[in-house]
Structure 1
Amino acid sequence: MPTSSASTTGSARSAASGGVQSLERAFDLLERMADAGGEVGLSELAASSGLPLPTIHRLMRTLVACGSVRQQPNRRYALGPRLIRLGESASRLLGAWARPHLARLVEETGETANMALLDGDEVVYVAQVPSKHSVRMFTEVGRRVLPHSTGVGKALLAGFPPEEVRALLGRTGMPAATDRTITTPGGFLAALEEVRRLGYAMDDNEQEIGVRCLAVPVPDSPTAAAISVSGPAGRVTEEATERIVPALRQVAAELSEALTTPGASPTA
């Protein structure tokens, strides 16, 4: 019987890594479900993964029995509640990995440094190291915000196709946090073009009056992530931006390497 290219690739990867092919396939299916919005049918998984339907059905039965996946009344499969605890623990660990890098960013820029992830349609802050200035910005770890009014949101969405960005904005709406907030899809897509052109994102009094934030994505992060530096607009000036952005890019690259290097230490 002919073997699909995806199956062949999986076999070669498992053999090369000494891993268990069925486990690799199961995690791959979970990631494909997450990419599809959390709910899929078997035929969709077969089309995207290249695996035979009987193989997918067997793996999904196992994932259902473990509580990682549940079958909906419409016969489609959805990510299960057991994954929530894993996701929360992973977010905390990601914050632990990020903090030493953010601390160095604070030392270099003098301003508060943050790390944020795109979780569904929202931005969630997972790590922060505050500035040593008496007047400084503070965002509570765990806080959720809509992406259209934040620097990290722009940095995260700049890598998405325009149609996906429009769909997200349609689901969330674009409420104004200040009179500087971008409140139209066209205006936001134009702002993302500017992010791609400049290589960094800015929130200029759009989330909070008097606050300016600069942000860049973390390249090749296992999940969509961005880091930022924020402070009073009087300190985060155009001149300061020229100094802060290179530091952001350097730390983002180093954090990316730490997150993607097997066996790396969180405090490296």
Structure 2
Amino acid sequence: MLTPVRLEVWGDPIAHSLSPVLHTAAYRALGLDWEYDRRQVSAEAFAATLDGPGSHLRGLSLTMPLKDVAFRAADVLDRRATLTGAVNTFVPEGRRGYNTDVGGIVRSVRQAGIDGVETARIVGAGATARSALVALAELGARDVDVASRRPGPVVQLAELGASLDVRVTATPLDAATFAPVPLTLATLPGGVALDPAVAGRLAAAGGFLSDAVYGHWPTELARAWEALGAPAQDGLGMLLHQALLQVRVFVAGDPDRPLPGEDDVLAAMRHALA
């Protein structure tokens, strides 16, 4: 009897994850009888779990707080993971780590009709902001403003930007005004309290909003964009496209190699979300 191919998503917490829905739909569309489950794993338990049952899995999707520890555990990294210091896709065989969040952002923004920008803004300076900055560089941005409560993390983003030939500037989140940009990437965690007045000032200067949040929708930022009649999208598009790139990794070993019948696979994943 053949041992079933198994994959999992790990994180802490993990009950909210939509990855099992997305991946199961993809493998069914591909005609693969693969099993995809979720497991609650803390950062402290990651190494021991990986060396235990995790080593028998074909692949792992990783959410917070495991992206940094997975980066340190990987022996081989793709360029996006190397740049961001974060791994959300892990292949135990060969201990290969990838960051598909960057590609998920790029594909989601392009799906909204934005093929490229020269300037943009990131709201928040946490871990997701690193992926957002690399994504903006891939979209052609050369000047990125970061609106953040804390200046320290922006210094690190500026160093990353310099390696990408992107000038990163900092604006306090409570600034009286913001310079106009055609695209805003919001990376604040869901449920974070934001002064509606601050959200309104960001919306007035922010162009199109692509928010990483999908579970706590609409966010305060989304409400501000809606009040102005400005376009905004939640994080489901990013989630969908980063998952598709993960499926590419788990099936073909390469996030840049399209799947057979990929349009149908993507449609099945999108339908599963709905």
Asked if TM exceeds 0.5, the reply is no
Rg larger in 1 or in 2? 1
Instruction: Answer 1 or 2: which has greater helix percent.
Output: 1
